[in-house]
Amino acid sequence: MSAAYHPSQKIYFGAAYYPEHWPEDRWPEDIRLMQEAGMTVSRLAEFAWSTMEPAAGEFDFDWLEKVIEMLAEAGMETVLGTPTAAPPAWLVTAHPGVLAVDESGRKVQFGNRCHYCVNSVEFHKASARIVRAMAERFGDNPHVIGWQLDNEYNRVCYCEHCQKRFQEFLIDTYGTLDALNQYWSTAYWSQTYSAWEQIPIPIGYHNPGLLLAFKRFITASYRAFQQMQIDVLREYIPEETWITHNFMKWYDLYDHYEMSADLDLASWDWYVGTGYTDYRSSGAAHDLVRGFKRQNFWLMETQPAHVNWTPLNNVLYKGEGRANAWHAIGHGADAVLYWQWRSAYGGQEQYHGALVDQSGQPRPFYSEAQMLGRDLEKVSDLLAGSTVKAPVAILFDYESKWAFEWQRHHQDFDYIEHLLNYYRPFARRNIPVDIIPADASLDGYKLVIAPALNILTPERVEKLADYVEHNGKLVLTVRTGMKDEYNALLPNRQPGPLAEIAGVEVEDYYALTDPVLLAGQRFQGNAHIWAERLRILDESSVNVMASYGAANGWLDGAPAVTVRYTGRGFVYYFGAYLEDNIQDNTLGYIANFAGIRPVLEVPEGVEVCRRITPAGTDVYIVINHTRGERVVELPWSAQEHLSGLVLEEGIKLRGYSVAVLTKTKQEEI
Amino acid sequence: MSAAYHPSQKIYFGAAYYPEHWPEDRWPEDIRLMQEAGMTVSRLAEFAWSTMEPAAGEFDFDWLEKVIEMLAEAGMETVLGTPTAAPPAWLVTAHPGVLAVDESGRKVQFGNRCHYCVNSVEFHKASARIVRAMAERFGDNPHVIGWQLDNEYNRVCYCEHCQKRFQEFLIDTYGTLDALNQYWSTAYWSQTYSAWEQIPIPIGYHNPGLLLAFKRFITASYRAFQQMQIDVLREYIPEETWITHNFMKWYDLYDHYEMSADLDLASWDWYVGTGYTDYRSSGAAHDLVRGFKRQNFWLMETQPAHVNWTPLNNVLYKGEGRANAWHAIGHGADAVLYWQWRSAYGGQEQYHGALVDQSGQPRPFYSEAQMLGRDLEKVSDLLAGSTVKAPVAILFDYESKWAFEWQRHHQDFDYIEHLLNYYRPFARRNIPVDIIPADASLDGYKLVIAPALNILTPERVEKLADYVEHNGKLVLTVRTGMKDEYNALLPNRQPGPLAEIAGVEVEDYYALTDPVLLAGQRFQGNAHIWAERLRILDESSVNVMASYGAANGWLDGAPAVTVRYTGRGFVYYFGAYLEDNIQDNTLGYIANFAGIRPVLEVPEGVEVCRRITPAGTDVYIVINHTRGERVVELPWSAQEHLSGLVLEEGIKLRGYSVAVLTKTKQEEI
Amino acid sequence: MSAAYHPSQKIYFGAAYYPEHWPEDRWPEDIRLMQEAGMTVSRLAEFAWSTMEPAAGEFDFDWLEKVIEMLAEAGMETVLGTPTAAPPAWLVTAHPGVLAVDESGRKVQFGNRCHYCVNSVEFHKASARIVRAMAERFGDNPHVIGWQLDNEYNRVCYCEHCQKRFQEFLIDTYGTLDALNQYWSTAYWSQTYSAWEQIPIPIGYHNPGLLLAFKRFITASYRAFQQMQIDVLREYIPEETWITHNFMKWYDLYDHYEMSADLDLASWDWYVGTGYTDYRSSGAAHDLVRGFKRQNFWLMETQPAHVNWTPLNNVLYKGEGRANAWHAIGHGADAVLYWQWRSAYGGQEQYHGALVDQSGQPRPFYSEAQMLGRDLEKVSDLLAGSTVKAPVAILFDYESKWAFEWQRHHQDFDYIEHLLNYYRPFARRNIPVDIIPADASLDGYKLVIAPALNILTPERVEKLADYVEHNGKLVLTVRTGMKDEYNALLPNRQPGPLAEIAGVEVEDYYALTDPVLLAGQRFQGNAHIWAERLRILDESSVNVMASYGAANGWLDGAPAVTVRYTGRGFVYYFGAYLEDNIQDNTLGYIANFAGIRPVLEVPEGVEVCRRITPAGTDVYIVINHTRGERVVELPWSAQEHLSGLVLEEGIKLRGYSVAVLTKTKQEEI
């Protein structure tokens, strides 16, 4: 856990605000409307480079200071963004090398975002200068509680400088070309490199070892750029002021765990896009971000009503936005900020949802934001410092994800979808789940799931074996244990060195054209997409939970799902990718067997999250994610904090409505 | 109206002919076959640059003069094309800057069409030289009745010279960078420009202000290139010889109103492509072109049987081609020319439909062309100088179309489809419609529809208000009045300054995932794609014609379609994009209320167009666009001019057949 | 027939093996497993350039010699590949011109395959050097029975050197620019070339004459590169050692007949990809390759279980792989080699099917390979020197295929699919078919089909006329006889000069939106995709077999399929593209009328192929391509060679099983 970020003393509520788009005399009205919505924080300056530094080395921060003061007077704190995602025209004109080069070899055009080469020396210099200037001016401003670096890092550069840096990175990583040639199997297709300068930045599909190394180089490049900004900031800002970056959902250009390691706080930008919220899937994204630092996070951006960048930018259903905010809080968000307060008259995002419209008046969605503001006024204290605890951990691994993106083998095999196939049974039962890095400690979990953990390292293997050795319950799944850390095949059958604890090995894998019916003791249903033919290595300790029915001749009758118990822990191996129904039943059974109980039993479509206060009080956040009324029966009498009512038997929740409960007296469950 | 083009004294009929592809001894047979088809005009030379000027400054026009003479002897007149759409190899070799640069930064390859940079100085020079040489030779040839410039302008060039010219264009337009930065809201994303040289030609999506400015620059570039040719020609050709360009349907690379302003005559190339004619939509394209100069037009190209450039190049149904020709004439065409007479043995268009096949014999479609030739012999005099008059105007705006192409927000929102949603109810009822520029005079229209007039200028607002003030009936629709002339948001709610005359404003807009049932007094049906929540500003003058049923919570119960009447005119506001059925009923009701009657009431699938002669005679062109027989009852006795029969009660029309009627005595309707 | 390749004395069986990926101490185990699978040949070295020549001019062949010896000791022979498909990094670094330039103008990146410019002088030099070095070392090695050049030639280069070479090729081909301009009709669109240097390499669609010339240039380029390798090899290898290249199915970058002319043996790589075998179509691909040299061929690569390069890489059904191998042998394969033995740990093809898995143990599919090995041990002698004889020839023409790819006119008109529409009726009846070049001799065929023979030369016309004159039965089909050898329109109606023998001409062609019902004497069904309106030129000799029903008005009632008989031969003209059902009936009728009988009558889904030994014995290969049991009744008693049983009445074949039969005594049929 970071030194700078402590469990939050309130749940922050606010929006991204761009005062530089508006005349100064408009600011008071904006701030008045923010106040009326109950906002407590504003996010400023992230794209304001050309306003703050209109020419090289000429700074203008007075306007920004004024806004921070006005906000403070209205009771709002500020998060400042460094503006490096938008290098100004004067910079790219003076130093064309600042512009990234795209995959086709052309300079990226000025005028959109993130047009920079992350490794450009001139860009680092210019970025350091603006960050330093901002830090000098605002580093000790008491109203600035945190800093966000750049915005949604997302560019790959293919310039010659980057290629050179990549080659240097490879020298650092491998030491010798012999090692590199060995790890990448370059005898294959005469790919042998006899000089570092021969190694390209990969365009399209390429040698898997090279592809993985280049991904690591991208991570290293962004991490260095980020660290440079952190180092500058930390010269000026107090220890308790935190630094974050706003990440994007399952986005995977780089390894988010590595990027988060240097930050104090994880935050992310959640957009539903086209359609409506599926809370059983979206909860996983929140849990992912909570796992970046294994602490609460900020929802730095979320959509007011609709976005502008999908093919069909519908609005959220009335009430859904507030429900989504509570969904985020239930999963560990300590802040909810809308993007954005109001659209500029011009620019690429004119059609994006906002709280205030072109006329400066509130849009209809503003009323929903107001409700949320009132909610938080009532329960922010209650939730102060509260956190989420989960009995189940799902292991996530960016490198395995990349490996699958390059080599899906079956077009419908999607690493995230496969993970969600293991997540949803818990979400449906209101069992909290942590999503954590594959290298994290597993202490304290009743159940650990390692979905499609394709890439194994000796450390991972040892950690998982150790967990089982200490009576853990571990679920391994299809495509686990095939690759080493260079994205090369392991010299064992799947699941590689985990075969020992699983008690099975994979004789072969099968991308399925058609579903295959499984026959198991308890469960009826199909495997689809992927099936592995398992061989039992230790008959004495392994039980077959399900076998394949008639399939392609190769699978027929073979074990599909097994469990091994040797007196210490349980290791499940899912060689079959199960359809949702049978998956739900099977995982429900396993959860129950592991002694894991729902936070609360509620009707379909109702989610219950639990945050636990520092004093140990359970706070239940109950969300009706449906459009119809739902009745939740309570096993105990409860205080409902949004209405102030005491509930003896249960609660009727209208569509998309929310309740925040504590037990009137702590009973034993 | 142009000085050079007067209402035509006949309906011309002909084809594009490329004698340069064939030996001279073939020409007499071609001309004989043209004569037998009843042709009266031939279109020559548009791609013959390398034949007319085989090397720089060496001209050979004898062959062309001979063809013109032979045609004249056979009673046919000539339209000459300037060949600038096909700059020869010797030119692009000598001056590589003549070749355009494509979006990816590569020179366009020689060997297709329109490979030129429209701003190339060398290209202007070479074009002026060939045009001057042609004009010197043929400018006073009495058989040359008109000139067509270039062919279907369609290229965007991304070369450095064009970028420089674009920057100069911006200097001319905005004067100062401060102004440009202001109009484009460049504080957004640090887009602020501190030097003109920083401004790029946009590739892909970009700042909406920049995008619109670049479109205007394209228009200005083509307009300058066109004017250069006009200036050269006008030195040599008589005043009554007209100049035109052949445009393409709804194509919108540039503003066709601006391009037409300098021409004497509008003409276009109509291709059905895959499938068959939907006359309720295709009529709008004719009406669009009639609106370019607000006078009759030429159908410069149309398909004999089939084209070669779609995925499935079926032929028109037998009879459909003739029906299409009459459809064009009914909407104001003064000429119908097929493309082309005969395919060259080689070249990219070997498979395109033609009247004569590879063997030099007529193809089956030739017989249909002959029928048309006989038709026109019979009625060309009757139609001489006749024009179309319409009680309804639909306003069209290229800039609004562009704005939507860049920011559809809903993938199914298509500006043309939306316009046709308002056009088809009139087409179905045989009510003539003018499609005119949004800035045109509205005098004399009983009803004006401004579909999705996204971009408003003070002049537009004033004109529309004035129209209503003078008792006009105006229909405003979704997405109207959101932007100013820089493609920036207007600082009012929609419909911007038109809210005053509409009596409503838009509280918010909603891209719809699902249809929403409307509840109105008279009309039952759904809104789809787009819905706006209306707020009534003046309860005393505004009636709600339809409201939203249960929708997404935000729209439920809100006004969807309103009408305002203050004693002067009527302003309808359609906040909902209606499905065809309810749209047809609603617009039918409004038309009726506006006192607008069909030209003639006929069965489904039969179109009736009316042209009015200079003497005031109504000529009814009745077209059965179906494959089955249709019976048209007539309220008056009529002369049918193709058959010579007098009809007392009605007429039976076989599939795809046509009648041309006048009343035997003018009765009052 | 080639001097070097004689009918094989056995059916070879093996796999591609890459010992350079593995430590030497692994080789014995691999070779042991090959032996246990019954393998008799191994394919080595095709991508081993960087291993064999780690730096320019430094060679290391000891490892390879050792493997060849070890294989020989285990009874296996070797096919050596020249490694030119994988030029090493040191070569492309030293000579960047070796790298091809792609269509967008960029150098192809190092690290995949075939990144070379086939015309690069430096690449030719380096290739000659490595091939010479291999030939010096292994040319007289008695265990090396053949050489495979490069691997699946597949790259087009767009570099300036290639453009220059293309222009030289055009000078050689056309002599003068006047001739070229004439043949390409360059007066069209002012494409006239006044200097050879003006002529581009076409990118995208272009002048059809230029497109065809460029395809011929690609063929000439690869042919020259291949001949260079052959010339080097022939200095060192014995006459009986054959040289081949592994082609790819219907792939058509170049003319495979021209490429095969210089080889001793044709071979190809057959991959089913996604899904399962359709033997009625796949047989045609085998027959195509058998037609390259009009002799037996090698199946140089085929998939063990699955591939890795389709969107869904399913495995073949159990048994299907062996059935496929027998299918290939039945169609003339003298060898079946799997690709590959074992995947390298790294490299792009980690997921490709292989016989041995990452752990070095056999994969499940290995057991099926073993069965095949056992099969071949039993019958290899029986099949020694046997060949396939067919009564039917289908003419194939790469140039016509290209012509259609550039100008499909109907998106569903696919030249191969159209050919298969004529092939499947014979495949279904177990009637052997030869697929031979359009210029091949037709002697001895009872029936010749020329599907969509778009491009005609005088020689082709004369040959076909001569065949009919000598009582041949010829089937002409849609789109035949439209183009000359420059891809220009012929100056006659279709089928051009074949109209004389067909007795019909095509008045026009129609790409169909909807099927058209045909009315014929014997056959009921639809035309789809394409229909031609036929005109009978000689009523006395031509009969109408089918006419069009109600269609688009143009076709209605016109002849669709005709046959002409003048006392000498029969010429069928199919102006309609028939749907499968009616096509099957019609072709069945024609085959029967031509006196062509099935090899054997068997139930649906069972294929019977016949190979005839040098001694004249018919060997029947009976393959159940279904998953269920099939009973084949035999008209004669038979010896089944895989089981050793004598069959008196018939044979029960389980799903995917195979029988190899000879008659116990030769009876007369």
- Each residue of A65-104: pLDDT tens digit? 999 999 999 999 999 999 999 999 999 999 999 999 999 9
Asked if A18 lies within 8 A of B183 by C-beta distance, the reply is: no
Averaged pLDDT score across all residues of chain A: 96
Q: What is the pLDDT of residues A108-122, one digit of tens each?
A: 999 999 999 999 999
Cα dihedral A103→A109→A111→A113 (10° resolution): 20
Q: Contacts of residue B91 in chain C, CB cutoff 8 Å?
A: none
* Per-residue pLDDT tens over the stretch C237-282: 999 999 999 999 999 999 999 999 999 999 999 999 999 999 999 9
**Residue C386, CB-side half-sphere exposure with 13 Å CA sphere:** 27
- The residue count of chain C comes to 669
Distance separating alpha carbons of residues A344 and A23, to the nearest angstrom: 12
Q: What pLDDT shows up at residue B665?
A: 75
Higher pLDDT, C347 or B669: C347
Q: What is the pLDDT of residues C33-72, one digit of tens each?
A: 999 999 999 999 999 999 999 999 999 999 999 999 999 9
Give the number of B-C residue pairs with CB atoms closer than 8 Å.
160
Q: Chain B: residue nearest C534 by CA?
A: B364
**The CATH number, out of the four listed (3.20.20.80, 3.40.50.1370, 3.40.50.1110, 3.30.1360.80), of the domain defined by the range A44-255:** 3.20.20.80
The closest of C343, C309, C305, C352 to C324, measured between CA atoms, is C305
A:B CB pairs within 8 Å: 160
> How far apart (Å, rounded) are the C-alpha atoms in residues B193 and B167?
12
Sign of CA pseudo-dihedral A149, A154, A159, A162: positive
Which DSSP string do the residues of C581-636 spell out, in sequence order?
Answer: HHHHHHHHHHHHHTT---SS---TTEEEEEEE-TT--EEEEEEE-SSS-EEEE-SS
- Sequence-distant (≥ 6) Cβ neighbours of residue C650 within 8 angstroms: C631, C632, C633, C634
How far apart CA A352 and CA A350 sit, in angstroms, is 6
Contact assignment for B312 to C410 by CB distance below 8 Å: yes
Chain-chain contact of C345 with A194 (C-beta, under 8 angstroms): no
Residue A667: which pLDDT band, with cuts at 50, 70 and 90? Answer: low
Among partner residues B87, B315, B343, which is closest to C552 by beta-carbon distance?
B315
Which residues of chain A make contact with B184, given a CB cutoff of 8 A? 346-347
Judge whether residue B138 has pLDDT over 60. yes
Whole-angstrom Cα distance, residue A397 to residue A340? 32
| d(CA B423, nearest CA chain A) in Å | 25
pLDDT on residue B666: 55
Q: How do C77-81 and C516-520 pair as beta strands? A: unpaired
Cross-chain CB nearest to C86 (options A190, A490, A493): A190
Chain A residues close to C348, C-beta within 8 Å: 188-189, 205-208
Say how far apart CA C162 and CA C157 lie, in whole Å. Answer: 7
Can you read off the two tokens belonging to residue A36? 């009326």
- Residue that the structure tokens 């029967």 belong to: C592
Nearest to B553 among A313, A318, A348 (CB): A318
Give the model confidence (pLDDT) of A571-616 as tens digits. Answer: 999 999 999 999 999 999 999 999 999 999 999 999 999 999 999 9
Q: How far is A121 from chain B (nearest CA, A)?
A: 20
Q: Which among C192, C194, C553 has the least Cβ separation from residue B317?
A: C553
Active-site residue, selected from the candidate residues B53, B152, B320, B368: B152
Q: Among partner residues C20, C89, C319, which is closest to A193 by beta-carbon distance? A: C89
B partners (3+ CB pairs within 8 A) are A, C
Task: Tell whether the model's pLDDT for residue C7 goes beyond 90.
Answer: no
Q: Provide the token pair at C624.
A: 């159940």
Cross-strand bridge partners of residue C445: none
Helix (H) or strand (E) segment spanning residue C655: none
Dig out the tokens for C98 from the structure.
């070796």
The answer to whether the Cβ–Cβ distance between C183 and B54 falls below 8 Å is no
Question: What pLDDT, on a 0 to 100 scale, did the predictor assign at position B137?
Answer: 98
Question: Mean pLDDT, to the nearest integer, of A333-350?
Answer: 97
Cα–chain-centroid distance for residue C475? 22
Percent of chain A with pLDDT over 70: 99
What is d(CA C443, CA B319) in angstroms, rounded to the nearest whole number? Answer: 48
- C202 contacts B317? CB cut-off 8 A: no
Query: Would the pLDDT of C1 be above 50?
Result: no
What are the tens digits of pLDDT across the range A169-183? 999 999 999 999 999
According to the model, what pLDDT value does residue A2 have?
A: 53
Neighbours of A19 (CB within 10 A): 25
Q: Which CATH superfamily is domain C12-156+212-382 in?
A: Glycosidases (3.20.20.80)
**pLDDT tens-digit series, residues B439-455:** 999 999 999 999 999 99
**pLDDT for residue A86:** 97
Instruction: Give phi and psi for C466, each to the nearest 5.
Output: -65, -40
Which helix (H) or strand (E) segment holds residue A253: the answer is none
Per-residue pLDDT at C2 = 54
Q: What is the pLDDT of residues B521-555, one digit of tens each?
A: 778 899 999 999 999 999 999 999 999 999 999 99
Mark A526-540 as b/e (b = at least 16 C-beta within 10 Å): bbbbbbbbbebbeee
Report the residue of chain A nearest B410, measured CA to CA: A312
Rounded Cα–Cα distance for residues A15 and A42 (Å): 5
Under an 8 A CB cutoff, do C110 and A554 touch?
A: no
Class level of CATH domain B45-263: alpha beta
Q: What's the CATH fold of domain A392-593?
A: Rossmann fold (3.40.50)
List the single residue in B with minimal CA-CA distance to C189. Answer: B47
User: CA neighbours within 13 Å on the CB side: how many for B487?
Assistant: 30
- C-beta atoms of A493 and C359 within 8 A: yes
CA angle A494, A495, A498 (to 5 degrees): 145
A301 as an active site residue: the answer is yes
Catalytic residue among C46, C53, C77, C301: C301
pTM of the model: 0.97
> Using 50, 70 and 90 to split pLDDT, how confident is the model at A5?
confident
Residue C568 pLDDT level (bands cut at 50, 70, 90): confident
Within 10 A of B128 (CB to CB), how many other CB atoms are there? 15
Measured between beta carbons, which residues in chain A are less than 8 angstroms from residue C350? 208, 407, 488-489
A54, A112, A319 ranked by CB distance to B553: nearest: A319
pLDDT class for A1, splitting at 50, 70, 90? very low
Q: Do A190 and C83 form a contact (C-beta atoms < 8 A)? A: yes
* Binary contact (A533, C364; C-beta < 8 A): yes
DSSP string, A133-196: HHHHHHTT-TTEEEEE-SSS-------HHHHHHHHHHHHHHHSSHHHHHHHTTTTGGG---SSG
Whether the predicted pLDDT of B435 surpasses 70: yes
Query: In angstroms, what CA-CA distances link A110 with A156, A221, B215?
Result: 15, 21, 18
**Which one of A46, A53, A77, A301 is the catalytic residue?**
A301
Q: What is the pLDDT of residue C566?
A: 86
- HSE value, Cβ hemisphere, 13 Å, CA-based, for B38: 20
Mutation to test the B interface, candidates A358, A366, A626, most B Cβ within 10 Å: A358
The torsion region of residue B150 among left (phi > 0), alpha (psi -120 to 50) and beta comes to left
Q: Where are the beta strands (DSSP E) in C144-264?
A: 144-148, 242-247
How far apart CA B211 and CA B402 sit, in angstroms, is: 9
Report the distance separating Cα C658 and Cα C319, nearest Å.
10
A3 pLDDT exceeds 90?
Answer: no
B489 with A318: Cβ contact below 8 A: no
Average pLDDT of chain C, as a whole number:
96
* Chain B CB contacts of C186 below 8 Å: 50, 346-347
- Give the residue from C104, C189, C205, C490 with the most B CB atoms within 10 Å of its CB, the best one to mutate: C189
Residue C397 has a pLDDT of: 98
- Where residue B464 falls among pLDDT bands split at 50, 70, 90? very high
The angle, 0 to 180 degrees and rounded to 10, between the axes of the packed helices B580-593 and B415-428 is 60
The token pair that represents A430 in the structure block: 């209101």
CATH, domain range B606-663: 2.60.40.1180
Residue of B79, B19, B81, B91 lying closest to B53 (CA atoms): B91
Question: What residue segments make up the domains of chain B, in order of their start?
Answer: 45-263, 392-593, 606-663
Q: Residue A665: is its pLDDT beyond 90?
A: no
Nearest CA of chain B to the CA of C644: how many Å?
56
ipTM of predicted complex:
0.96
Find chain C residues with C-beta within 8 A of B356's C-beta.
Answer: none
C529 CB-near residues (< 8 Å, 6+ apart): C410, C412, C413, C511, C512, C577
Q: State both tokens at C588.
A: 């069945």
The set of residues, in sequence order, having a beta carbon less than 8 Å from that of C367 and lying 6+ positions away, is none
8 Å CB contact between A303 and A339: yes
